[in-house]
Amino acid sequence: MKKILHISTDDKRGAGSAVIRIHSTLIKKEGIKSKVLCMNKTINDSNIISDENFFLKLFFLKIFNRVESLLGFFDKKYYFFNKGRNSIRTVEKFESLLPFAPDIIILYWISGFLDIKVIREYLYKNNCTIYWYLLDMEPMTGGCHYSWTCTEYQKKCDNCPAVCNFYQKIPLRNFSIKKDIVASANIQVISPSSGVSLQLEESTIFKDMPKHHIMLGVDEKVFKPLPLIEINKIKNKYGIPIDKKVIFFGATNINEERKGGQYLKEALRLVANKGIKSVVLLTAGRKSSLIEFKNINFRCIHVGYLEGDSQLASAYQVADLFISPSMQDSGPMMVNESILCGTPVVAFNIGVALDLVITNETGYLAEVGEVNDLARGIVKIIGLSPIKLAIMKKKCRAVGMNKTSMRVISEKIISLISN
């Protein structure tokens, strides 16, 4: 029996939900034993392992990061978290938490949780295969989760724009340690999108290592198209007029620069100025960060945080268009979810949009940072006739089923770990 250990800082939202989806699928497969080791456990499941002391460590870690950001020690847009303050820093601590001796370890988003040096030490004593699922850029940099225009990860991260002079040695140290460990431990990397794959080809740390392209899977039984009668029920629930087209957008915090909220607001203003009236803007996430959408000449309906996959799926299912204005992202996974629901996507040409968004077939792919192009895509999709929109929605579902359904992705992961 293959024993698989997934390691992730969180078990919910974003990276955490990606881990749990993979684990939940693998645990149902015959001949596979799967467990998750995480720092911030929120799900009551015996197959998810944590340590109650980690919560206190996580609390202090957030305080340190917040203070340093406020003092300007680190430029917050780069999300530089790797400062050597991980909860698991010794192989003894790591081994004390293991439910079994794993045959395969899959690393995900591990910032603040697991020191990568522990993996090397563990491999000195035990023989197992290591994969690193890159949910952002941190594994290939000196600590930044998003590099923006910086190309130091293609060299050695010794001239980092994310840190002040006092901390300049940290990125180079992190980079050197990772480069050595990835090579000596023969860590194989899994890319969730073509955007990440392009970055990996330029990465000093990973360019010579084995690479696998497997998108993040989405449950096709939950994220699926609904018949019109069910869509109208959801519209009634949210107070959406049945005769209006629905544009959906969601983010935990729209004011995050990398999420592109400023481009989305400007693009929507351009669309509204064209005199288009038959549209409702559906938003989800933090209400305070979405207040500026009230100034756009569309009716805006805010549904707050959508808890659980079923609630999230309902927003895509009721929408005629999902907009992803992210500027820096390995995904976002919301693109995968929307496409599987049969909802067209307008997105900038980054991350997983390069895999799933096909202009005039499943939505519209705009040039990064081009507001006019983003607005052009929005107008194009909401202006489709009912027949053409229905055809596009059907195409979205077909592409999603072939590329990002959990059935397809689990088969790819099982094939990979079986070799």
Report residue 333's pLDDT band, with 50, 70 and 90 as the boundaries.
very high
d(CA 404, CA 215): 6
Domains recognised in the chain with CATH numbers = 2-217+406-418 (3.40.50.2000), 228-403 (3.40.50.2000)
Integer Cα distance of 380 and 363 in angstroms? 9
Q: Give the confidence band of 299 by pLDDT, cuts at 50, 70, 90.
A: confident
Q: Residue 57's pLDDT is what?
A: 67
Q: What 8-state DSSP symbol labels residue 250?
A: E
Report pLDDT digits (tens) over 130-144. Answer: 999 999 999 999 999
Residue 346 clears pLDDT 70, i.e. is over it:
yes
Q: Is-contact 168 225, C-beta < 8 A?
A: no
Cα–Cα nearest to 85, from 62, 61, 108, 53: 61
pLDDT of residue 54: 67
Q: What is the pLDDT of residues 11-24, one digit of tens each?
A: 887 889 999 999 99
What pTM was estimated for this model as a whole? Answer: 0.94
DSSP three-state, residue 364: strand
Backbone dihedral angles phi then psi of residue 74, each to the nearest 5 degrees: -135, 135
H helix intervals, 34-192: 54-70, 91-97, 116-125, 169-184
pLDDT digits (tens, 9 = 90+) for 63-87: 777 777 777 788 889 999 888 778 8
Q: What number of other Cβ atoms are within 10 A of residue 386's Cβ?
A: 9
